[in-house]
Structure 1
Amino acid sequence: MTHTTRPLKERFELLRTFGLDRVDPRLDEMAAALADEAGMPYAMINIFHPATGGQHFVGLAAPRGGRWPTVQRTMAPDWGYCPEVPKKNGRALILPDVYEMARFAGNPVVDALGIRTYAGAPIVLSHSTESGAGVMVGTVCFVGTTPQPDEAGQAMAELVKRHRDEITRDLFQHAGLHPPELLPHRPITTSTAQEEGT
């Protein structure tokens, strides 16, 4: 299921149920834990706006001041690499060096923030673990300004997926719902980017 095909009312209700319709210091702490373990300056819990597709960082870890560019809580739907994740058939998107693929090298975040590496995994939620495929509402990701070697890709994938799973379980528990092991995510489209398992 894509992040745009469910009725808007249902998607807004889903975000409210899981507390993803607003910034939460708890989610900032989770993003900071990911950034620290990844050794990267930025990490986000990124939610796609149901109506506009705009990106909202309800959890954000980012350096303050110094040489690091400032990252705001929102980002246009055509900026960054998280909007590419829905095309990954429910898989993580891992880009050790964004320059290795021309269509990723030209992204606005490369010029604006100096981003050179990215790892993101989809957040899939549902009101019920018995309702079939969940809804992809956003991503958990980290980004950095130093390119990583190709051989780092597997470790990046395992790290971002582990934190995604921990965050997903926390979201279910915080909402008073039983957390599933992993909600199935219906295939979307084929992407030429490097694919990692869910």
Structure 2
Amino acid sequence: MSDLTRTQRSLHAQTSHRLARLHQLGLADRPDEEFDRFAHVLARDSGVPGALAMVNAISDRQFFTGVHLPSADELGSVAEAEALAAAVGRVMPMEHGYCPETMDRTKPLTLPDVCMKPDFAGNEVVDLVGIRLYMGVRLVDKEQGLPLMTICIVGRERRPMEDGRRMLDYIKERGAQAQYLLDQRITALP
């Protein structure tokens, strides 16, 4: 485990607790209609052309409890939509994408152009999915003080750096809405 990044070590140390809580909430390993709808609205209202949006339960892997992928019409081809769906699916390894990094942050992560940071540009999703833009924020189980999930929007076109503030405001607002949905589930537990 010595070659793991600090973020991976931190997430790894909490995996069993996080996985148990996600299972208790019914969010660890099956799609959720409410979070699928949330991801759809998250993408639709983001202002990002052809956006992908996820509600991501993070344990020893990333599981997209809620996901929105752009349609063939948005992408311009059925083949491209099918290829994207096959590449993304509902499960990704921890080393793909930026949500594991977001889990370790108290503030949102916004990257108008992931290629501007060498450590982010080398992530496998840049080539696998063509990601150039990322914005995400973590969701926390406030009762246990444990980060459980993220919401994120990814795009395949970079944005000008001056869009960074708008991206930050948008993901913070939507993060508060997703946190409310998670809080409701936690409160409803027996």
- TM bucket (normalised to shorter chain) is 0.7 to 0.9
RMSD (Å), alpha carbons: 2.2
1:44 has 2:46 as partner:
no
**TM-fit CA distance, 1:11:** 2.6
Q: How many residues are matched?
A: 168
1:103 has 2:139 as partner:
no
- Secondary structure at the residue paired with 2:89? coil
Looking at structure 1, the residues matched to 90 and 113 of structure 2 have their Cα atoms a distance apart, in angstroms, of 24
Indicate the residue corresponding to 1:143 in structure 2: 154
Q: CA 1:7 to 1:145, structure 2 compared with 1: closer, same or farther past 3 Å?
A: closer
Identity of aligned residues (%): 34
Q: CA 1:13 to 1:35, structure 2 compared with 1: closer, same or farther past 3 Å?
A: same
Q: Moved runs in structure 1, 4+ residues, more than 6 A? A: none
Question: Is the contact between residue 121 and residue 140 of structure 1 (CA under 8 Å) also seen in structure 2?
Answer: yes
Q: TM-score, normalised by structure 2?
A: 0.80
Q: TM-score, normalised by structure 1?
A: 0.77
Looking at structure 1, the residues matched to 115 and 43 of structure 2 have their Cα atoms a distance apart, in angstroms, of 21
**Which one of the candidate residues 67, 72, 84 is aligned to 2:101?**
84
1:153 has 2:171 as partner:
no
Question: Is the contact between residue 42 and residue 143 of structure 1 (CA under 8 Å) also seen in structure 2?
Answer: yes
Deviation sequence 1:99-130 (CA, Å, 0-9, x none): 1111111111111111100001011113x3xx
Looking at structure 2, the residues matched to 13 and 106 of structure 1 have their Cα atoms a distance apart, in angstroms, of 32
Looking at structure 2, the residues matched to 108 and 165 of structure 1 have their Cα atoms a distance apart, in angstroms, of 29
Looking at structure 2, the residues matched to 172 and 19 of structure 1 have their Cα atoms a distance apart, in angstroms, of 14
Structure 1 gap segments, 5+ residues each: 179-198
**Which one of the candidate residues 52, 59, 62 is aligned to 2:69?**
62
**TM-fit CA distance, 1:7:** 7.1
Which gives a bigger RCO, structure 1 or 2 (Cα 8 Å, sep 6+)? Answer: 1
Looking at structure 2, the residues matched to 7 and 97 of structure 1 have their Cα atoms a distance apart, in angstroms, of 30
Q: CA 1:101 to 1:163, structure 2 compared with 1: closer, same or farther past 3 Å?
A: same
- Secondary structure at the residue paired with 1:38? coil
Structure 2 gap segments, 5+ residues each: 1-9, 73-77
Question: Is the contact between residue 19 and residue 175 of structure 1 (CA under 8 Å) also seen in structure 2?
Answer: no
